[in-house]
Structure 1
């Protein structure tokens, strides 16, 4: 799977380091194992994905998919930005989850790359 995804990454130098941006909205990440394969196909420690790369079940916290993926990021000391419109979310638990992620700064959910880079924190 690595060779399949490698050509889809674009690297961008930022004030918080080089990030890898996935330029393929068709890529779907159905589970933590698929995410891990994609994560390791990027040459950088910080990846940028689209909200659309994740299935709806990712955003339903009770499925556990988001938790598993965030655990992989923590275990391997990586950061992730998810770009998309999160303003219309009605679920309090999902809003709280996104708020805490953004506050922590290792995983950031926002609509603009510039905002996300400002929210990123160092990996320890």
Structure 2
């Protein structure tokens, strides 16, 4: 896993790069959060869709909800870059829509959209 920091004013966003699945369960999510904060000092970060297990996108597993709840509790913000149109689940589409309306989690198509979303929140 490699990390870099994008800074805009006083806002810093960690960009996590890896070809591996980084979050396959709740503990992985906590470990990733701790690593990002330790390595970069950032409370906002970007990962790619392929860094999440497919179970994350199956809402019935509750993994997405559990991860987002943990990150909310620890004031960590995350943007996921990917192609989310491939999922047929109306529940998942609604979940992604609701996340994108908030200030904590974003599901976007590219790195610039992720940076814009995360730099735009405090």
TM-score, normalised to structure 1's length? 0.85
Q: How many residues align?
A: 117
1:1-124 equivalences under 5 Å are 8-14=2-8, 17-42=11-36, 43-120=41-118, 122-123=121-122
Task: Write the distance in 1 (CA, Å) between the matches of 2:116 and 2:16.
Answer: 19
CA RMSD of aligned residues (A): 1.7
Distance (Å, rounded) in 1 between the aligned partners of 2:30 and 2:75: 12
Structure 2 unaligned residues grouped into runs of 5+: none
TM-score norm. by structure 2 comes to 0.87
Take 2:98 and 2:73, find their aligned partners in 1: how far apart are those partners?
18
**Unpaired runs of 5+ in structure 1?**
none
Q: Tell me, in whole angstroms, the C-alpha distance in 2 between the residues paired with 1:89 and 1:15.
A: 36
Relative contact order (alpha carbons < 8 A, sep ≥ 6): 1 or 2 greater? 2
Per-residue CA deviations over 1:22-44 (Å, capped at 9, x if unaligned) read 11121431111111111111120
Which ranges of 4 or more aligned residues in structure 1 deviate by more than 4 Å? Answer: none
